[in-house]
Amino acid sequence: MYVAVKGGERAIEASWRLLEQARRGDRAEPELTIAQIRQQMRLACARVMTEGSVYDEDLAALAIKQAAGDLVEAIFLLRAYRTTLPRFGYTVPIETERMEVRRRISATFKDVPGGQLLGPTYDYTQRLLDFSLLAEGSAHFESATGDGSAGSDWAPRSLANTAAASLPLESDTEDKVPMPRVVTLLDSEGLIEQERPSTQPPAPADLALEPLLMPAQRAVRLQNLARADEGFLLSMGYSTQRGYAGNHPFAGEIRFGNVTVEMEVPELGAAVELGEIEVTECQMINQFSGSGNTPPSFTQGYGLAFGHSERKAMAMSLVDRALRAQELGEAVTAPAQDPEFVLYHSDNVEASGFVQHLKLPHYVDFQSELELVRRLRAEHGARHTRHTDEHREDA
């Protein structure tokens, strides 16, 4: 089946050279650096890290550069590299409640403990092309920031009041206190389902090493959704909002910022801080009518992604809640509520490979089907001729 691919080895090597030329483009133009991609395409890097299952901004930027901006191909590259890395342990679950928040909003309460922080967002832009970005050099940069000072470190802004919204917050985070989640306000009244960590949690599954099996526990589903294609999740989440699931969601809280990653070291008998990573967390609040044994309350959908990935985290939380239909006693009537449909079709690396393998030679398969169709058509023609002759004889 693949003899033609092997026989065309020189053609394939030539295609590699053409690919490199196409990727680089006009060499009269400056080449993109990894630092530029990392700094100026941070949202693309966040998606590649999340769906590639590797938190490394430089590697994500490298994959984007190598893939000429094709994010699915970049995710494939990073995922493939991940398989070469040894696993030497598991980190302690991150404490997002202790996040150094850079953006935090809630659609359920106007006044929340810690205030609402706008941070960097396209939510309040007009979605009009900014032709001033066509300008190059420091002149445009200085005009955009108002002066010649460094403008790369944006400051979060609070919605607590008008004055606070117009002034940057202090950048020193040493005195910051943990910012409690919005759902704790409902939790204190028992109005939302109680989610507590297990005292003896099972060993975490690793979908990079183990196949996805059904039925899948929520922890496995969440891992699958975190690696899932953002576009697919967005479509599934959108379907739940259009009525293809019995959910009515509210964005309880979306927060983005830095969290500390720690790892238990048995020799030390304590957790050691490895560093910080940027994550986006979303908690959706959904209505739940309750049952004979359960009083009416709200339920939750959860999403978490590397970097600044609000759309991914929101879509993930919508789908997570939809997949919980059966365990909450709800009727499974929509695609987004079917675990096998969602989980087995959400991985863009697998989906891309399965679709694109059709480009490989299938000469033998096609020729066999071609001969079959020819034979069937010949038999059909013979039957038609025979029936026509019999009709004439009867006449």
Distance of alpha carbon 78 from alpha carbon 362, whole angstroms: 29
Q: How many CA atoms lie within 13 A of 70 on its CB side?
A: 12
At 20-78, the pLDDT tens digits run 887 888 888 888 899 999 999 999 999 999 999 999 999 999 999 999 888 999 999 99
Name the residue with tokens 């940069």: 141
DSSP letter at 29? S
Give mean pLDDT, residues 192-202: 73
pLDDT score recorded for residue 325: 86
Whether the CA torsion 120, 124, 128, 131 is positive or negative: it is: negative
* Mean pLDDT over the full length of the chain: 80
**Residue 172 has which token pair?**
């020193």
pLDDT score recorded for residue 115: 81
pLDDT score recorded for residue 47: 93
Instruction: Give the 3-state DSSP-derived string for 67-119, with helices as H, strands as E and coil as C.
Output: CCCCHHHHHHHHHHHHCCCCCCCCECCCCHHHCEEEEEECCCCCCCCCCCECC
At 162-188, the pLDDT tens digits run 233 333 333 444 445 567 788 877 777
Distance of alpha carbon 335 from alpha carbon 288, whole angstroms: 20
- Top pLDDT among 152 and 325 is at 325
Question: Is residue 149 predicted with pLDDT exceeding 70?
Answer: no
Whether the CA torsion 381, 382, 387, 392 is positive or negative: it is: positive
Residue 233 to residues 71, 343, 388, 394: CA-CA distances in angstroms?
Answer: 16, 10, 56, 64
Distance of alpha carbon 353 from alpha carbon 73, whole angstroms: 10
pLDDT score recorded for residue 7: 53
- Top pLDDT among 198 and 213 is at 213
Burial category of 225 from C-beta neighbours within 10 Å (exposed 0-12, middle 13-18, buried 19 and up): buried
pLDDT score recorded for residue 4: 47
At 240-292, the pLDDT tens digits run 988 888 777 888 889 999 999 988 888 888 888 889 999 999 999 887 766 66
With pLDDT > 70 as the criterion, what percentage of the chain qualifies? 84
**Residue 113 has which token pair?**
């403990």
